[in-house]
Structure 1
Amino acid sequence: MSARTLTNVVNDQTVALNALIYGYAGHSLVTPHAALQQIWWTEERINQKVTPEFVTSRLQPQERERLTSPVGFGDLSDDTYIEWILEKARRLFLVLAEVGEAARIFAVVDRSWDDDDLPLQMDDIEQLDLSNRRDNHANSRFYHTQFSFLLRELRDGVHIDFAPNEEVPLEYVQNLPAAVSLQNWSRVHLPKRPQEVYVRRRFALGNAEEPDAFASDFMMDVESARMVEHDHIAPVWASYTAKGTGFIVTPFVGQHTLRTFIDHRNPTQYQKLLKPDRRWLVLNWLHCLADAIATLHQNGFCHSAIRPSNILIDEKNAIAFSDIGSLEIFQKDKRPDPMDVYVYGAPEAHIDPSAFDPGASAAAPTTIPTTKHTSIISKSSSGSSASNTSQRQKLTKVPSPDFSGFNFGFKKTQPAQKARSRVHETEKADVFSLGCVFLEIVTFMLKKKPHDFLKHRSSKQKINTGGKNSRTDSSFHANLDKVDTWMETLEKASFEHDDDAFRAIPPILDLIRNMLSRAPAVRPTARDVRDKLLDIILHETAIPDIHCGDHKHDIAYAPSSDGDSSAASLRTMSTMSSTESDTDTIRMSTSSDTTGLTSILDSYSDRATLSGISESDADSIRTIE
């Protein structure tokens, strides 16, 4: 037998090396991904690499003596060449060393160039005379190599427009979620941070005829999503565009949708909890989802797509909406079930709304506060990107009376209409859909089969199309009487349990009945739903902690009539810091924490228009206000 060698040992390194050699290292689920180390020239790595020893090692002996001499334009600076390199031109030196022309760093410094001048255009590169070794491709190699050292890292709250030849500093995480519908959302991590996993979603910015047709829509939706911060709405941590595609990155990593979680019936992460903790978890879910929708409505947005497939659950059983459903761009990367829109839709969405509330009046327009974010734009050979100022109809806006007296400079597209608005119906439609979701969650809590609920509420509807006389309708709005009998079944089932968590079920079902009222005007607001849930949980159970119990996302609303809202803050189990990270670029080292108020002042039709947004382009920085 031959001796056992290192190559015969099966470990993470050898498996990864084998995968890399045969070309499937980036895609195999069985490859130890952490063993594959990709080199990223981050700021930290560049500072560690470019030292006085490194610089001298790349120069000839006669050239090294010049390093300690004053720079050629000594009248303007007291720096020596080595000081200029270490303080201002580390990247430039790395690029020159990579293409074998380290000695040209003196010509670079004599022109007072530094890293802030990168990326250099071909006209500038030709001034360095890199082709003195009969290398006709030296200039081209410099141009392409410089982008490897111009790594712009994604950070919280920034947007970057990457040039086609720039590297995006993200690495794939080969780990698929349990929910098949979530598997097209890739998982990534930042360089050297494999434990910090993010979900990345991608959206086409145009089509063959108009490559940038949706670019402004994408940016508008990103800024709109950042207007609302809540623990239970997956945040846009960072965003970027690259090669005609827009991307958003979120730290909320869903393993299941609520749909797959309920259909699974016994998810492993749920089974690991003690039985009392499972019940507290589900009751907290109800309150947290209601608080998220209440926050959306207070900030002037409607969700418009509340259904189990749009709600995520991570590996720690935290729950969150995947996004704001009324942001159209964010819906384009999903694979929705067409029936879900109908099944969980409100009655007024499928029937003439005039039958429900003919006397309603229009709501007064208002303004919405937001935070200014900085957008980083790449400088490429074609210059800075031109901003797209196209407009479109966007979000359903609702009144926020506290800011109605202010005008921050946004132009009204239309005067306030006196005709009846559908804003309140849209808000109330969210409440109806949320009630449907709540009923599915309570059904799960009582260990009833979702298929039995579906079968119970289904009915035959007469039709005269497609050669058929009837079809099965399992929607909530078309079968409210059957939905009510199902709630009676759940109420009886709750009395069979001794745990005090089940004492909350009957009053919660009464609340759901109000949420599922056929007439929109009869339904409670999302804020009322949240406050009532808090009151029920506090008085009917001995729950140790109430998530979101302090209602910290409320904005300048009148105090709730519920006297226990303040008491809940003493029992909350989570806090959240709303800090805005500094925005760094390779061309700007300063940070800005300027917070502005931006108004979105629109007419109150079904879809309002985000308009009047002014942009200011300054070199590589674009601020969207």
Structure 2
Amino acid sequence: MSARTLTNVVNDQTIAMNAMIFGYAGHSLVTPQHTMHQLWWTDDRINEKVTKEYITSRLRPNERDRLGRPVGFGGGDLTDDTYMEWILERARRLFLVLSEVGVSEKIFAVVERSWDDDDLPLQMEDIEKLSLSNKKFDQQQLSTRFFNTQFTFLLRELREGVHIDYAPNEVLPLEYVMELPPAVSLQHWSRVHPPTKPNEVYVRRKFSLGTAESPGVFESDFLMDIESARMVEHDHIARIHSSYTVKDTGYILTNFVGQHTLRTFIDHRNPTQYQKLPKPTRRYLVLGWLHCLADALTTLHQNGFCHSAVRPSNILIDEKNNIAFSDIGSLETFQKDKKPDPMEAYVYGAPEAHTSALSFDVDMPAPLPNVGGNRQPSIVSKSSSGSSNSNGSIRQKLTKSPTSEFSSFNFGFRKTKKAPKPRSRIHETEKADVFSLGCIFLEIVTFMMKLKPSDFLKHRSSKQKVNAGGKNSRTDSSFHANIDKIETWMKKIEEASFKHDDDAFRTVPPIMNLIRGMLSRAPHVRPSARDIRDRLLDILLQYTAIPEVHCGAHSHDIGIATSSNSGSDNASTISSLRSSSLSTMSSDSDADTIRHSTTTSVRVSSILNSYHDRASVLSEISEMDDDESMGAIGRPMPPPLNTLDATRRNIAPSAASPVSPRSSGTPVSPQSPRQSSPSGENRSRKTVPWNKPFMRLP
């Protein structure tokens, strides 16, 4: 193609057509080169546009004289402001809308009604009061044009802690980021940035607020879960920056932009962001993850929440190798935009969640999986095959409906839909979170030791069929059903750590002992999240020369002063352990929200009501004696986690060390007298009713 012909093809008209079709303004019809930036009417742009010169240029000469007169409202009341001052201070957007419609002179009627930009968007009945035209037909046309044009200049920007209900035709002040994360499971979460701020990137998550029959039925749950999530602030729990609703759909924005989930990060084995770090820094980073996740879980439990979904797919890692929980798993709204994986929930679930509480015995071998109920066989399947063994099938059967209705070619056969089962909260406890976190810790240490995750999966798998939520598997790779194999894998990791001289590997044996306690089959034997966190901090400070332990100040603890004096005490205590001091980090932010309809007391009571069904069932859960539970692992348990070994460290425990608020304030559960088991065995049990509060306030 000659240069002349190319010039005739690529011109202003073809570039405009290219932009209209592809959204780009490139110099080729085939390969667009540059993204077209949308024009946003932000506050700065409005202030630059609407000036005194612009206002006077849009009015007739006889109307310009009124701009310097004082504003007069109905009833004879006067103000010191002139019409010009009122427009420049309060009604710049309104003047732009009137100018766009072609009735700039109506700004005087707007000011005399004491309207300003905060009153936008105006309803149709209010617009008709302005009498934009003397003719009835033009009046209706101009009013409709005003109503639609106001949304072009009305740009309500999302700020931190704000929730906004946008009108269906209102402009959303967000631009898409043309970049996808490496993890495929995170690519359905779009990435956006505010107008004129391309470096301020947020992850946007989308939730449906209703159904076709009942639109908006879930909006109250959506708002309550947002308020509940904002009650817990932690650096390693993805924070909700802002939220909005539009067209029966809810959205939240978070500034934690994950590139990987923990699952994809481990499976990738060589993430680029991880390989850029020096080897000692990598090991310190991974060990710090253990402490940060434990501190985040501690904060959740102290605020009365159970996570209930501690799994690798719910843990995010950003491009700077920061780690965080994607959300609070017990808040059901934030689980709706995820693809559920029942098999993952089964693999990382606690043993009490998959074993009957009445028949639970720590001396028994690994329990057989019992996830999901068997489907009742239909009459058709019984008559054709004699029996039905298709437990995992989700195919819907056609059953005879007892009706004589004859409409729309319905001859009595209808598809019967399974009623959705309510979410069971029986086993959503703090101890279940601890078990799942122990599984996560073991996989992270396996990654640090450069052992293949596939080898770990094969090592702990046993040959037995599993049916989890409709998914069938011939092997059971769950942690709770293969405790013995988990123990042999931990011994393998310990033996491998002795072959290395780096100080990070000296932490492996004590961490393995900590994980053994976390993976105990008896829930009451497992340590609390706070004990785990404190023990991890002691291990990192005692065995390594890590320069900084993130979250080491434990500034999110409830009931512990976070003043400057306490921070200096913490620093002096840690400096006595080793020469390098611990730097404290804390982040506090106060959020303003547009919605003030729900007070704190109402939100707290709503959350307590949502957990009421758990409290009624947890009172029936039986727990075993300590003597019975000690045989679960088959080896002596590690020393108490909330005390320091002063002999090994050659120091006395610091008096300024944080004390758990649960140690003294939590009432002791009354123990019922021992009763013989129904089977007549000599082994006895005790029943501990659940009387701990689900919500703890500072």
Interval containing the TM-score (normalised by the shorter chain): 0.7 to 0.9
Q: CA shift at 1:48, angstroms?
A: 2.2
- Structure 1 partner of 2:679: none
The question of whether the paired residues in 2 share the 8 Å contact of 1:203 and 1:246 is answered with yes
1:429 matched to 2:432: yes
Q: Greater relative contact order: 1 or 2 (C-alpha under 8 angstroms, separation 6 or more)? A: 1
Q: Counterpart of 2:548?
A: 545
| Equivalent position amino acid for 1:477 in 2 | H
Instruction: Report the secondary structure of 1:188's partner residue.
Output: strand
8 A Cα contact 1:459 1:474, kept in partner:
yes
Change (3 A) 1:295 1:199: same
Q: Which residue number in structure 2 is paired with residue 267 of structure 1?
A: 271
**1:568-579 alignment runs, 5 A limit:** 568=574, 571-573=581-583, 575-579=585-589
Q: CA deviation at 1:568?
A: 4.9
Q: Which shows bigger deviation, 148-157 or 119-128?
A: 119-128
| 1:484-531 superposed Cα distances (whole Å, 9 cap, x missing partner) | 101111111111111111000111011111110111111111111111
| AA aligned opposite 2:20 | I
- 1:326-351, CA deviations, whole angstroms, 9 ceiling, x for partnerless residues? 11110010113221000000000000
Write the distance in 2 (CA, Å) between the matches of 1:58 and 1:197: 39
How far off its partner does 1:558 sit? 11
- Give the aligned partner of residue 613 of structure 1: none
Give the secondary-structure state (helix, strand or coil) at the position aligned to 1:237: strand
Residues 433-448 of structure 1 mapped to structure 2, 5 A cutoff:
433-448=436-451
Name 1:38's counterpart in structure 2.
Answer: 38
Match status 1:49 vs 2:53 = no
How far is 1:284 from its partner? 0.3
Q: What residue in structure 1 maps to residue 120 of structure 2?
A: 118
Matched position secondary structure for 2:432: helix
Task: Please list, as runs of the form range in 1=range in 2, the aligned pairs for 1:38-437 lying within 5 A after superposition.
Answer: 38-73=38-73, 75-132=77-134, 135=138, 136-356=140-360, 426-437=429-440
1:368 corresponding residue in structure 2: none
Residue 248 of structure 1 and its aligned partner are, at CA, apart by 0.7
Give CA-to-partner distance per residue, 1:65-122, whole Å, 9 cap, x none.
2222233446421322211211221121111011111111122223332223322222
Q: Higher mean Cα deviation, 573-582 or 98-107? A: 573-582
Question: How many pairs were matched up?
Answer: 532
Q: Distance in 1 between matches of 2:108 and 2:336?
A: 52
User: 1:225-262 deviations in whole A, cap 9, x for unaligned?
Assistant: 11100000001111111110011110000000000000
In 2, the alpha carbon distance for the partners of 1:597 and 1:216 equals 13
Q: TM-score, normalised by structure 1?
A: 0.78
Amino acid at match of 1:551: H
Deviation at 1:124, TM superposition (A): 2.0
- Please tell me the residue identity of whatever aligns with 1:576: S
Deviation at 1:437, TM superposition (A): 0.4
Aligned to 2:385: none
Q: For each residue in 1:197-233, what CA deviation from the matched residue of structure 2 results, as whole angstroms up to 9, or x when unmatched? A: 0000010001011101111111111111111000000
Query: Which residue identity is paired with 1:100?
Result: G
Provide the C-alpha distance between the structure 2 equivalents of 1:118 and 1:502, rounded to a whole number of angstroms.
Answer: 62
1:600-611 counterparts in 2 under 5 A?
600=605, 602=608, 607=614
In 1, distance between residues paired with 2:473 and 2:602? 54
Partner of 2:492: 489
**For the structure 1 residues 558 and 478, does the alpha-carbon distance in structure 2 shift closer, same or farther, using more than 3 Å as the test?**
farther
Q: Is the 8 A contact 1:205 1:246 kept in 2?
A: yes
CA distance in 1, matches of 2:499, 2:13: 57
Unpaired runs of at least 5, structure 2: 26-30, 363-420, 563-568, 617-698
Partner residue, 2:464: 461
The secondary structure found in structure 2 opposite 1:303 is coil
- Pairwise CA distance, 1:42: 2.2
Q: What CA distance in whole angstroms lies between the structure 2 residues aligned with 1:286 and 1:335?
A: 26
Work out the CA distance in 2 between the residues paired with 1:595 and 1:16. Answer: 55
Is residue 2:20 matched to residue 1:21? yes
Aligned-partner SS, 1:312: strand
The AA in structure 2 aligned to 1:179 is A
* Structure 2 length-normalised TM: 0.70
Within 5 Å, give how 1:486-565 maps onto structure 2: 486-556=489-559
Sort the Cα spacing of 1:596 and 1:150 in 2 relative to 1 into closer, same or farther, 3 A. Answer: farther
Amino acid at match of 1:70: P
Greater Cα shift, 278-287 or 116-125: 116-125
How big is the alpha-carbon RMSD for the aligned residues of Structure 1 and Structure 2? 3.5
User: Aligned partners of 2:282 and 2:51: how far apart in 1?
Assistant: 56
Q: Distance in 1 between matches of 2:198 and 2:270?
A: 29
Deviations 1:570-604 (A, max 9, x none): 8445623212144579xxxxx99x98896448477
Q: Which sections of structure 1, spanning at least 5 residues, go unmatched?
A: 359-391, 397-421, 586-590, 610-625
Q: Distance in 1 between matches of 2:184 and 2:456?
A: 23
2:71–2:111 contact (8 Å) kept in structure 1: yes
* Residues 22/53 of structure 1: CA separation in 2 closer, same or farther (3 Å cut): same
Q: One-letter code of the match for 1:104?
A: K
Partner of 1:471: 474
1:264–1:8 CA distance, 2 compared to 1 (3 A)? farther
Counterpart AA for 1:23: F
Question: What CA distance in whole angstroms lies between the structure 2 residues aligned with 1:462 and 1:209?
Answer: 40
- Aligned letter for 2:491? E
Cα distance change of structure 1 residues 557 and 453 upon mapping to structure 2, 3 Å threshold? same
8 Å contact from structure 1 (residues 602, 608) kept in 2: no
- CA drift of 1:17 comes to 6.8
Within 2, Cα distance between the matches of 1:68 and 1:555? Answer: 59
Secondary structure class of the residue paired with 1:578: coil
Would the alpha carbon gap of residues 335 and 595 (structure 1) be closer, same or farther in structure 2, given more than 3 Å must change? closer
Q: 1:461, CA displacement in angstroms?
A: 1.8
Aligned partners of 1:549 and 1:571 also within 8 Å: no
How far, CA to CA, are the matches of 2:305 and 2:424 in structure 1? 7
One-letter amino acid of the counterpart of residue 87, structure 1: E
Change in Cα spacing, 1:221 to 1:541, as seen in structure 2 (3 Å) is same
Q: CA deviation at 1:18?
A: 7.5
Aligned equivalents of 1:597 and 1:302: distance in 2? Answer: 20
Once the two structures are superposed, residues 19-73 of structure 1 have per-residue CA deviations (whole angstroms, 9 ceiling, x without a partner) of: 52323449xxx9677x532122222322222110110111122222222223344
